[in-house]
Amino acid sequence: MVEIARREFQSGKTTDIKFRKANLRGLLHFYQENETELADAVYADLGRIPDETIVAEISLLLRDVKTMLANVEHWSQQKTVGRSLATLLDWPYVRPQPRGLVLILSAWNYPLQLSLLPLSGAIAAGCCAVLKPSELAPATAALLADRLPRYLESSCYPVVCGGVPESQRLLQLRFDHVFFTGSTAVGRLVAAAASQHLTPVTLELGGKSPVYLDDSVNMEYAARRILWGKTVNLGQTCIAPDYLLCTKATEEAFLEAGRRVLHQWFGERPEDSPSLGRMLNKRHFSRVRKLLENSGRVALGGRCFEEALIIEPTVLTDVRAEDPVMEEEIFGPVLPIITVSSADDAIRFINSRTPHALSLYIFSSRRDVKDRFIRETDSGTVMCNDTMYHAIVEQLPFGGVGTSGMGAYHGKHSFDTFSHYKPVLERNYNPVAELCCSVRYPPYEPTKTRL
């Protein structure tokens, strides 16, 4: 598959704008004609209700591919850059060139968008791409492998199903770019493997995304927006708010509003609510339950239903920085609160944590507070007064920093990720240009070289 895809790229056909558009249209039809099957496959894999998949994944994919179709021609054009005195008679320009054959390795938690957003970027940029969806979302992977070839030129965009051995085998081969979404630990392995061929990588990794909350907010809205980020996909989202930093007084107001919000959304028995997802498998369920049981005090929720793989949306108070829940990305519906005395204290706390945050959430109406957090902390992205919504604004690049990733994508940024912006300087045989150039020719003389 990889060899065939490489030959297809070398034939030059994927660079043709008509070809790119035909395959982007294929992707659009794939989404339109398979919406129910796609949402059902995700339900089979993750237990996430189809409506949530339509909102959180399919609508995003539809918008993305329409943006690609509307802009691919314009984005692919070479752009003339400014001239200086030395290049007055020349033609300097930058030409976006497809990177070549791309490998896309994706994660299970949003199994559609994490595979298909990079794929649409690769198609738009004129690349060939080998897609390896996550083995932990097998129904979705099988559906992609079965259906995508009916809508796309399959020799250019093959889908490989499999797990760790297949990923490792793929990583031994030479690609022109590797786009990886997954954990920081595996990201390191991917980067090391890619370095054998000096292949550039985009790494979309995990991390703990802090939330700072102060008393200048509308607490009802803030509680809703924070808890939505924590409960959608049952907290199994890379940019889910991971932990909350606030003063004791703000904590009380948050808990009061949060109790109301969770009751409105999921009722007395969240385990029976069709709107609540479930943990991926027993391993993830037990890991999060253990974090919950060994850290702080349960202030809201806290019940775990092993058979159904459901953990009730939970807020923990009296959490210490050394507690297990603060040591790894939680990736579940548990929100620990760390008490701080001020914004300064919160900034110090964030900066004392070694792994870099993927996102940072600031809930405050104070301009100076927002500015300080944005300026004085490190994170891939920032959102003020809401959670996760920034990831669907396709004008904004999406990606991590340090241990939460490198590179970015979404919208035009996906096109850029899979393009090499090739600088070209064209010069002609104009005698005036030759005269200007002649200072560099030997023999070197001070009158020429000091000009």
Active site residues: 204, 238
Nearer to ligand NAD, 251 or 329 (CB): 329
Sheet holding 314-317, edge to edge: 297-300, 314-317, 334-339, 241-246, 209-213, 357-363, 379-384
Joined together, the tokens standing for residue 32 give 């339109």
Structure tokens at 77: 């054009």
Question: Could you tell me the smallest distance in angstroms from the CB atom of residue 403 to ligand NAD?
Answer: 11
Pairing of strands 334-339, 241-246: parallel
Minimum distance of ligand NAD from residue 308's CB (angstroms): 21
CB of 179 to ligand NAD, least distance (A): 11
The minimum distance between CB 353 and ligand NAD, in angstroms, equals 15
Q: Which is nearer to ligand NAD, 87 or 183 (CB)?
A: 183
| Helix 35-46 / helix 17-33 crossing angle, nearest 10 deg | 70
Structure tokens at 319: 């959490």
**Nearest alpha-carbon partner for 6 in 101, 106, 102:** 101
Closest CB 290 distance from ligand NAD, rounded Å: 17
Minimal CA–CA distance to 76: which of 15, 26, 152? 15
CB of 205 to ligand NAD, least distance (A): 5
CA 73 distance to own-chain centroid: 25
CA distance 396 to 388: 12
Cβ neighbours for 317, distance < 8 A, ≥ 6 positions apart: 251, 255, 296, 297, 299, 337, 339
What is the C-alpha to C-alpha distance for residues 306 and 144, in angstroms, rounded to an integer? 30
Instruction: For ligand NAD, give the closer residue by CB, 140 or 167.
Output: 167
Q: How far is the CB of 359 from ligand NAD (least distance, A)?
A: 9
- Phi and psi (nearest 5°) for 261? -60, -50
> In this structure, what token pair is assigned to residue 275?
């709107």
C-beta closer to ligand NAD: residue 164 or 425: 164
Q: 100 near 9, Cβ under 8 Å? A: yes
To ligand NAD, the closest distance from the beta carbon of 25 in angstroms equals 26
3-state helix, strand, coil in the chain (%, to 5): 50, 20, 30
The three-class DSSP label of residue 439 is helix
Smallest gap from residue 185 Cβ to ligand NAD (A): 7
Instruction: State which residue, 101 or 117, has the beta carbon closest to ligand NAD.
Output: 117
Query: Are the beta carbons of 227 and 262 closer than 8 angstroms?
Result: yes
Strand segments (E) across 65-221: 79-80, 91-98, 101-105, 128-132, 177-181, 201-204, 209-213
Q: Which is nearer to ligand NAD, 98 or 235 (by Cβ)?
A: 235
Question: What residues line the site for ligand NAD (CB under 6 A)?
Answer: 105-109, 114, 132, 134-136, 163-164, 167-168, 181-183, 186, 189, 204-206, 238, 329, 331, 358, 400, 405
Say if residues 347 and 376 touch (Cβ distance below 8 Å).
Answer: yes
Identify which of residues 107 and 130 has a Cβ nearer to ligand NAD in the complex. 107
Strand, coil or helix: 243: strand
Choice between 31 and 108, CB closer to ligand NAD: 108
Residue 245 half-sphere exposure toward CB, CA atoms < 13 A: 24
Residue whose CB is less far from ligand NAD, 97 or 286: 286
